[in-house]
């Protein structure tokens, strides 16, 4: 038995010689040698990044697409693009990678909506909706985006997806889109005006 912790501790590890802490060298794998489409850094770090970020990206895709199958396709496509043209995942912060995946998945989702690749509505999408917004508001915004996606500029749709469906704060959405908060507010205002006009037409 080790006995009680205090009874078994002796000294501090810092007293150990420096060469005691050699970490085994892990070989890096050059996926690019096979794929020919990505940087060495991203390729070697990609499996871990994929594992860590997959669930949030899946949730994000389900929020806007609502169909598990189509959302999964978009999530996978976003990771494929991360591998090919994304930021350096080894040196980037969590939020940088997450923002890049959010934006890429948003654009892919808008493309999918425009191409009308929708299926049966996901019944458990509520679990992935923003905690601070009512499900009704989110689903209304999503419906408006679906209805207007063909004729509305991509920038407005992206802003609407990030703020109204994903529930990002305006500073978060502005950073993700790479625009100022003022520009973001203008995009959202235009989108809201379109929504009002759509409802008026519908009624």
Partner 1 sequence: MTEEHHSPFELDAYWVSPGDAPLRVTAHVASCERCQTYLRGLDTLDATPARLLARPAPARRPWFARVVPVAATLALAAGIALFVRTRETGDTYVGAKGTPAVQVLVRRGEKTQIYADSMVLQTGDALAFRVACEGFGHVALITPGHGDTWTRLSDAMCPKEATTLPLTLVVDDKPGDERVSVVMSRTPLPQKALESAAKASTRDRQTWVTAYVFKKAATR
By CB under 8 A, what part of segment 99-158 binds partner 1? 99, 102, 117, 127-133
Number of residues that bind partner 1 (CB under 8 A): 72
Residues 153-185: b if buried by 16+ CB within 10 A, e if exposed: eebbbbbbbbbbbbbbeeebbbbbbebeeeebe
Q: Provide the residue count of the chain.
A: 203
- Collapsing DSSP to helix, strand or coil, 117 comes out as coil
Token representation of residue 156: 């407005």
Q: Which is nearer to partner 1, 68 or 144 (CB)?
A: 68
Answer yes or no: are the C-beta atoms of 129 and 121 closer than 8 Å.
Answer: no
Stretch of residues binding partner 1 (CB under 8 A), selected from 7-15, 142-150, 151-159, 190-198: 7-15
| Geometric angle at alpha carbon 179, from 77 and 190, rounded to 5° | 90
Which of 103, 109, 168, 174: binder of partner 1 (CB under 8 A)?
168
Stretch of residues binding partner 1 (CB under 8 A), selected from 18-26, 147-155, 180-188, 191-199: 18-26
Residues 66-85 that bind partner 1 (CB under 8 A): 72-73, 76-77, 79-80, 83-84
Q: Which is nearer to partner 1, 47 or 153 (CB)?
A: 47
Q: Which is nearer to partner 1, 99 or 113 (CB)?
A: 99
């Amino acid at each position: 038995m080790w006995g009680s912790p205090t009874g078994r501790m002796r000294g501090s590890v810092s007293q150990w010689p420096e060469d005691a802490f050699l970490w085994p060298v892990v070989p890096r794998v050059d996926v690019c040698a096979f794929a020919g489409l990505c940087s060495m850094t991203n390729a070697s770090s990609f499996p871990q990044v994929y594992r860590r970020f997959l669930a949030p990206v899946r949730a994000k895709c389900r929020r806007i697409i609502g169909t598990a199958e189509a959302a999964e396709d978009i999530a996978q496509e976003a990771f494929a693009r991360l591998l090919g043209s994304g930021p350096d995942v080894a040196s980037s912060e969590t939020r940088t990678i997450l923002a890049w995946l959010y934006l890429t998945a948003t654009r892919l989702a808008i493309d999918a909506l425009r191409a009308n690749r929708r299926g049966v509505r996901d019944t458990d999408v509520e679990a992935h909706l923003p905690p601070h917004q009512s499900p009704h508001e989110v689903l209304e915004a999503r419906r408006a985006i679906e209805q207007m996606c063909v004729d509305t500029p991509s920038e407005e749709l992206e802003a609407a997806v990030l703020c109204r469906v994903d529930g990002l704060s305006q500073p978060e959405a502005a950073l993700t889109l790479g625009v100022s908060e003022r520009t973001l507010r203008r995009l959202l205002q235009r989108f809201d005006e379109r929504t009002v006009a759509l409802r008026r037409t519908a009624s």
